[in-house]
Amino acid sequence: MIVDFGYYIIIGIVALISSAVSNSLKKKFDKYSRIRLRNGMSGAEIAEKMLADHGIYDVKVISTPGKLTDHYNPQNKTVNLSQVVYHERNAAAAAVAAHEVGHAVQHARAYKWLTMRSNIVPLVGVASKFSNILIMVGLVLGLTSSFGYLVLSAGVGLFGITTLFSFVTLPVEYDASNRALAWLKNKNMVTREELAGAQDALKAAAKTYLVAALGSLAMLLYWVMKLMAANRDD
């Protein structure tokens, strides 16, 4: 086995940072959920108006179970808002709803990073399913075996695809937030205080994607260095 103490250090650090960022996001969402929108609109109404303002009429806004489960589905063209976002009338709900519509706008405008991410989704499905399996099998076989080295290399290659996906996701998420905030401000949908809350909430959400990408990169580099070390030993 080539897994050493460094592996567990990386896992531990990423887990701690991810937990801290996730807790921060939840606290900010709860904080800005207490800032009621002066215009009295719900998250669903915000989403529908933003879609209409961008001339998008073939996307439906629907409610989905859970908390922070909001997402845009490009396959069936639906903006899926969690129940607290769909029904509530506060700065957090406005931020999340507008952000998800931002993805719908990206889709309608053929935003290049969203198109790229969509194109590699099938590969990511395969990679995420088999990368860890191949890595573990390669470790069991051992790097002294040429077959074990080959299997581990294949696993690391697949893991690289998931890492690439996490980095392609970053501009997609940041752009969606920028579109959301620009619309909220330019259309005077929120007050200055509400806009500041929406911006802070979306920044916190963006950090979760950044941490995930950097954590994936750190793990990829770990495996690559192990492969390089094993290759030098041959």
Active-site residue identified among 45, 48, 88, 100: 100
Question: What are the residues facing 72 on neighbouring strands?
Answer: 79
What whole-number distance in Å separates Cα of residue 77 and Cα of residue 54?
15
Cα–chain-centroid distance for residue 78? 17
Respond yes or no: is residue 100 known to be catalytic: yes
- What lies within 8 Å, CB to CB, of 118 at 6+ separation is 74
CA proximity to 202, closest of 17, 78, 28, 18 = 28
- E strand or H helix that includes residue 153: helix 146-186
Query: What are the tokens at 87?
Result: 């029904």
- What lies within 8 Å, CB to CB, of 71 at 6+ separation is 64, 80, 100, 103
Total number of residues shown for the chain: 234
If phi over 0 gives left and psi between -120 and 50 gives alpha, with beta otherwise, what is residue 191?
Answer: beta
What whole-number distance in Å separates Cα of residue 213 and Cα of residue 42?
32
Q: Name the residues annotated as catalytic.
A: 100
